[in-house]
Amino acid sequence: MDLYLKPWIIVALILELNMPTNIRKHNWQLENTYASLPAVFFSLQQPVPVAKPEIVCFNERLANDLGLGFLNHEKENSVAYFSGNRIPDGAEPLAQAYAGHQFGYFTMLGDGRAILLGEQLDPTGKRFDVQLKGSGQTPYSRRGDGRATLYSMLREYLISEAMHHLGVPTTRSLSVVSTGEQVFREETHNGAVLTRTADSHIRVGTFEYARNFCSIEDLQALTTYTLQRHYPELTDTDDPALALLKAVMHKQIDLVVNWLRVGFIHGVMNTDNMSIAGETIDYGPCAFMNAYNPRTVFSSIDANGRYAFGNQSNVAHWNLAIFAGALLPIISENQKKAIDLAQEVLEGFQHRFTEKWYAMMFGKLGILHPEDQDKDLVDELLSLMETKKADYTQVFLALQQDKAPEGSLFELEEFKGWVKKWKNTHPGGDHKAQSLALMNTLNPKVIPRNHWVENVLEAAVEGNLAPFNQLLGTLSKPYDTHPDALQFEQIPEGFDVRYQTFCGT
């Protein structure tokens, strides 16, 4: 059959060629604005090729959204791109320089095992960083091997996608490619490369790097770039650097409130892991809380509970003070004045956080028109939940569904009294439906429970991806009922007591 004679093919080709390049379907739309920053901010660096790459997961929906849907049908190209073995057209691969406070101590860091390929423009023109993680050594690797394990890259893929579908701002995962190479972490593991997308990878630590190791002009260039990229509406304000501090603070407050809504513990909120765009970034030792306890910590290295569930707002505030410190020279030339201005912004943190947190908790309880005394209702509930070690996710679901599952909390007279009080604040009639609808958008039915995450990952690294894919599928609709996957809602019996998570695997 002679394809060239088919008129519709000719028409399709003409249409395609006449399209502006940014909406042409079959290619990357990469830009590299980060590379226009002063050279101190990055090192041009190619990914180190891997021996035998194979796709383990590929996020077709995300690829479509990014304008990379053509790759859904080009497996060989995808394997090559997302292993780092081939560089897409228009990419200018680089490793970013940054510093950071890790557990309170300042240190120089940088992308030690990640490469930014460039910024993909989606079909609407929105810009996303496309970064390979686990793609080999860079000038910032220090003593690290630049690689990542399949286990931890699949973990990031699963949890970041779950967070996205829970409605929490986050970096996302486009693919995991196994490398066919071994990685050594006390024992031998299979290696992998994760492709992560993000609004950007600019961190509080990027500003600390500029402030401590670069010139004021460099710090100014980074600030201007960040404002233009993430907060263009602030570029013309009286004091753009101060406006940036405030905007980032607001984003962080919203982010932490969202974490607290779903029971997420980041686990390593170092300043290098705090995104200026307000996304959850760096899924190392993160985990989800089951039994409610604000002191919950799973990270093996967080002995003092610095990054415990209930301490996350305090840490965000601390990190923002570091951010403010980095911005001081460009907030005002007069340092005394700069400190006063920054201080005033930071002093607004606690009030705003508390109000936003209560508003979120009222939503979880379906309270449409809260009054001040409803704050006591929230406090009393949490205190009862803590005493009875009640499951955070299940309690709100039980209230929403008007059920009393087994468990000591629901048998407690004090709790029954609390429920009565709560129902009195609950409006009847038409409002009831509205209130339930609100609860349904804020109270997930399924979260990535630690025991299930580990269970499906263990099977996945042994080559059985079916449970991983089933959990991933369920987590892509966390507010729906999944009658055929009820096991994922199960509370682990005693699992959390010995559960530990780890950094940098």
479 vs 502, which CB is nearer to ligand AMP? 502
Using the rule CB under 5 A, which residue among 85, 131, 173, 273 binds Mg ion?
Answer: 273
The phi, psi pair for 465, rounded to 5°, reads: -90, -5
Q: Which does 144 bind (CB under 5 to 8 A by kind): ligand AMP, Mg ion, none?
A: ligand AMP
**Of residues 290, 293, 346, 341, the one with CA closest to residue 320:** 346
**Interactions with ligand AMP, residue window 88-117 (CB under 6 A):** 109-113
The phi, psi pair for 117, rounded to 5°, reads: -75, -35
Fill in the DSSP letter of residue 231.
-
273 vs 394, which CB is nearer to ligand AMP? 273
Of 29-37, 142-150, 376-384, 480-488, the window that binds ligand AMP (rule: CB under 6 A) is 142-150
CB of 280 to ligand AMP, least distance (A): 13
Q: Which does 112 bind (CB under 5 to 8 A by kind): Mg ion, ligand AMP, none?
A: ligand AMP
* Count of helices and strands (H, E) across the chain: 17, 12
**Interactions with ligand AMP, residue window 282-321 (CB under 6 A):** 282, 284
Name the token pair of 174. Answer: 């486009």
CB of 304 to Mg ion, least distance (A): 20
272 carries an active-site annotation: yes
324 Cβ neighbours under 8 A, 6+ residues apart: 245, 331, 342, 343, 345, 346
Q: Does 147 bind ligand AMP (CB under 6 A)?
A: yes
138 vs 435, which CB is nearer to ligand AMP? 138
Q: Scan for tokens 């196994």, then name that residue.
A: 178
8 Cβ neighbours under 8 A, 6+ residues apart: none
Q: Scan for tokens 């599952």, then name that residue.
A: 405
CB of 294 to ligand AMP, least distance (A): 24
76 Cβ neighbours under 8 A, 6+ residues apart: none
275 vs 393, which CB is nearer to Mg ion? 275
**Interactions with Mg ion, residue window 299-338 (CB under 5 A):** none
CB of 286 to ligand AMP, least distance (A): 11
Give the span between the Cα atoms of 89 and 78, in whole angstroms.
13
Residues near Mg ion (CB under 5 A), total: 2
Give the span between the Cα atoms of 256 and 11, in whole angstroms.
51
209 vs 415, which CB is nearer to ligand AMP? 209
Report how far apart the first and last C-alpha atoms of the chain are (Å, whole number): 54
Binding site for ligand AMP (CB under 6 A): 109-113, 141, 144-147, 268, 272-273, 282, 284, 503-504
Which residues does the annotation mark as catalytic?
272
